[in-house]
Amino acid sequence: MADPSITDAEFQRFQRLIYEIAGISLADSKKVLLVGRLGKRLRALQLKSFGEYHDLVAHGNDPLERQTMVDLLTTNETYFFREQAHFDYLQNTIVAQHPPRQPFDVWSAAASTGEEIYTLAMVLADSLGVKGAWSILGSDISTQVLATAERGHYWLERTRGLPDAYLHKYCLRGVRSQEGSFLIAPELRSHTRFMQINLNTTLPDIGRFHVVFLRNVMIYFDNDTKRQVVARIVQKLHPGGYLIVGHSESLNGINNTVQLVRPTIYRLPLAQGKA
C-alpha cells in the first residue's frame, strides 16, 4: 500500500509539534521522511489523514502514541567509534590528565542505540580498568533507541568502526539462536545507566560530569534552542570538564562559558562553579 499523502499545512503542523516537544527544526526537505515514518502509524490506526494523526498525538490522551511519534522522527544513524579523533583525545589527553583513582563520569546526551556509549565504555575500560571507578550515563528523547542501547545486543553487521581487538575483548559472540550477533560484556554494561531525557526541557538531577558528548544532535536545533540546550548541559559539567560536539557542529556564538580547546572540543574553565 502506498504511503498516504500529506498537505503542506499538515506538514507544517508536525513541524511545529516536534519543535515544541523536542526543539527540533524539521526542514522542509524532511517531508518525505516524515511521510515514510509516520505513514505506517496512520495505517496501523486506520486513520484517513495526517491531520487526524496530528490531532491524536497533539490533543489526544495517548502519551504512548505521542512517544511513538517522537521515536519515529528522532532516530538517527550511529556506529561504533564514530569520529574516532574524539575517542583518541578522550583517552590520550582527558583521561590521561585525570587524577589517578578518582571517579570519572561521562554523559552521552544523544545516545541513540548505544554504540557511542559502548565505545566510551571500551575506551575507559582500556584506560582505567574494567573494575575502575568510571560510569557512563546514556540518554535520549527516544525510549525505543534507549531500549536497544540498554540491551547492548547487536548484529555483527553493526560492527562498523569497531576494532577486532575490542570485539574479541569486550563482546560476547552469539551462538545457536543468537548466531550472527554479539552482546556487550556484562562487566562493561555494569558501568552504564540509561535515562530518557528531553534536552529541550529542564534537566533532571543527574549529577555532574567530567565529559559530555553532545554529538550530531544540535544540527536539528535552531540557534535559540542550541543556546538553551548548551546552557543547561554546561551546568552539568565539573569545573574543567569537557563538552564534545559533532564534527559539523560549533558553539561559536552559542555559548561563551566553555572555551574552545580544538575544533568540536570545549572545556569549562576550572574557576567556574564548584567541584
- Helix (H) or strand (E) segment spanning residue 226: helix 223-234
- pLDDT tens for 93-134 read 999 999 988 999 999 999 999 999 999 999 999 999 999 999
How far apart (Å, rounded) are the C-alpha atoms in residues 228 and 142? 20
From the CB of residue 18, how many other CB atoms can be counted at a distance below 10 Å?
A: 21
Q: Binning pLDDT at 50, 70 and 90, where does residue 273 land? A: very low
Which residues lie below 8 Å from residue 24, measured CB to CB, with a gap of 6+?
Answer: 18, 73, 74, 220, 221
Catalytic residue among 37, 41, 193, 208: 37
- 66 part of the active site: no
Q: Which of 140, 189, 215, 267 is catalytic?
A: 140
Residue 137 has pLDDT above 90, yes or no: yes
Reported as a single tens digit per residue, the pLDDT across 195-219 is 999 999 999 999 999 999 999 998 8
pTM of the complete model: 0.87
Domains and CATH numbers, the chain: 8-74 (1.10.155.10), 84-267 (3.40.50.150)
Q: Does 37 participate in catalysis according to the annotation?
A: yes
User: Phi/psi class of residue 193: alpha, beta or left (left: φ > 0; alpha: ψ in -120 to 50)?
Assistant: beta
pLDDT of residue 158: 84
The confidence score (pLDDT) of residue 3 equals: 59
Q: What is the pLDDT of residue 275?
A: 39
